[in-house]
Amino acid sequence: MARIVSLLALFICFSLTINAQKKQFFKNKKRLTTEQLTTLKVKKMTLELELSEIQQNKLTPVIKELISERSAQLDKKRELKNDVKKINPNERYQMANKILDRKIMFQKEMRTILNEEQFKKFKTLEKKRLHKK
């Protein structure tokens, strides 16, 4: 009986130590810059969709704008998280509307940059990503 209690206590101490280390790891983790994220996203899309150089050059500013808007929105969300402020329905509607407008704009841009076959593949990959979440 004493062995079981001591093993249980040891296991609890072990798990608490591991969880504390994980939290410290994520706090110290540095974020990538907008340019780095843009480069990675464009290269990933190049591999998935077989983009040409011209398409890559057209896509880079679109992706950069999208990432910068998303990071600004995440920073704003982090600030609101600290304030413990509840969002009223009107603000929630405006935020959702802004996100959907951004998605529509991005889709239109992608339709102009990509050819028909690439766009179909892009849409299927996007659906897979959405179902993954």
pLDDT, tens digit, for every residue of 84-124? Answer: 567 788 888 998 999 899 999 999 999 999 999 999 999 99
Phi, psi (rounded to 5 degrees) for 36: -65, -45
Q: Does residue 63 contact residue 46 with C-beta atoms inside 8 Å?
A: no
pLDDT, tens digit, for every residue of 20-75? Answer: 555 555 555 678 889 999 999 999 999 999 999 999 999 999 999 999 988 888 88
- Give me the residue spans of the domains in the chain: 1-30, 31-132
* Alpha-helix runs per DSSP H in 31-88: 34-49, 53-83
pTM surpassing 0.95? no
**Residues 6+ away with beta carbon under 8 Å from 41:** 63, 67
Phi, psi (rounded to 5 degrees) for 84: 50, 50
101's tokens = 């407008």
